[in-house]
Amino acid sequence: MIIYENVSKIYSSDSPALMDVNLRIEEREFVTIVGASGAGKSTLLKMLYAEERPTRGNVYFHRNNLVNLKNRHLPQHRRQIGTVFQDFKLLPKKTLGENVAFAMEVAGKSNAEIQKATNQILDIVGLSQKIDKYPGEVSGGEQQRAALARALVNKPKVLVADEPTGNLDPISTWEIMQLLLKINEFGTTVILATHNKGMVDKLQRRVISINKGRIARDEAMGKYCI
Ligand SMILES: Nc1ncnc2c1ncn2[C@@H]1O[C@H](COP(=O)(O)OP(=O)(O)OP(=O)(O)O)[C@@H](O)[C@H]1O
Ligand SMILES: [Mg+2]
């Protein structure tokens, strides 16, 4: 379970990126975060994988207050949260298979485990045939599916997807959406930030709207907050 408690984030002295955000996300939920560019979506997500810390307030992940997370515990924390981004962030000199395997190597898994899990997850995202291709040799949609496989191979509790389809055509976008739904059905909490209104409408899941750093609407609360 994830709780944001009175969270504000001020990067510089001008307007805050987040202002007094209160939010509760249950295990196995599928949540979409929407809002204009600069509204604070990425900042909200970054708090969760502790790339940014709140200026005020607390963020709890399974009862651990991330405000108090020691740097030496960061890798362990981040392994519980898979991440995918608009720009895929695959390592260009590694094949798709090696990109996925690498995430397990740094987590200290055995070679046998790595090979089995890599094959399995690439099969789930439909990339078994492309395991030996380099990112530059496959389509954007395939790169994002490989990035998803990499995010999931260590079986994280939560998947954070920050505008994962921003660079993709509608068909690839829909494929990624289907995968996110499938991952959620398998039991992973999914938190998706997106501009894509059509996708949000199709997904029909809880929508949280952010406006200038404040939660403007959270469907789970069944009311407008402003
Ligand atoms: N590292 C940073 N340093 C200073 N200001 C930042 C930093 N990151 C974000 N901001 C500012 O914080 C605000 C929220 O940014 P954020 O990236 O969270 O928005 P977003 O909703 O994800 O936008 P987009 O849809 O464009 O990705 C913006 O005003 C942005 O300029
Ligand atoms: Mg963003």
Question: Could you read off the pLDDT of 172-212 as tens digits, one per residue?
Answer: 999 999 999 999 999 999 999 998 888 888 888 999 999 99
Query: 112 C-alpha vs ligand 2 centroid, how far in Å?
Result: 37
Query: 8 C-alpha vs ligand 1 centroid, how far in Å?
Result: 13
Query: 174 C-alpha vs ligand 2 centroid, how far in Å?
Result: 20
Ligand 1: does its nearest atom lie under 6 Å from the Cβ of 43?
yes
Ligand 1: does its nearest atom lie under 6 Å from the Cβ of 172?
no
Average pLDDT over the chain reads 93
Identify the CA nearest to 107 among candidates 80, 134, 127, 68: 80
Could you identify the atom of ligand 1 that is nearest to the CA of residue 46?
A: 18
Q: Give the span between the Cα atoms of 122 and 119, in whole angstroms.
A: 5
Half-sphere exposure of 21 (CA within 13 A, CB side): 39
pLDDT attached to residue 206: 94
Question: Could you read off the pLDDT of 27-69 as tens digits, one per residue?
Answer: 999 999 999 999 999 999 999 999 999 999 999 999 899 999 9
pLDDT attached to residue 12: 86
Query: 38 C-alpha vs ligand 1 centroid, how far in Å?
Result: 5
Please list, in sequence order, all residues whose beta carbon lies within 8 angstroms of the beta carbon of residue 158, skipping any fewer than 6 positions away.
2, 48, 80, 81, 82, 188, 189, 190, 191
Closest Cα to atom 29, ligand 1: which residue?
38
Could you identify the atom of ligand 1 that is nearest to the CA of residue 39?
A: 21
pLDDT attached to residue 15: 84
Ligand 1: does its nearest atom lie under 6 Å from the Cβ of 13?
no
Above 60 in pLDDT, residue 224?
no
pLDDT attached to residue 226: 44
The neighbourhood of ligand 2, an ion, using CB within 5 A, equals: 41-42
pLDDT attached to residue 197: 84
Above 90 in pLDDT, residue 13?
no
Q: Give the span between the Cα atoms of 163 and 158, in whole angstroms.
A: 16
Closest Cα to atom 24, ligand 1: which residue?
37
pLDDT attached to residue 221: 57
pLDDT attached to residue 225: 45
Question: Could you read off the pLDDT of 77-113 as tens digits, one per residue?
Answer: 999 999 999 999 999 999 999 999 999 998 889 999 9
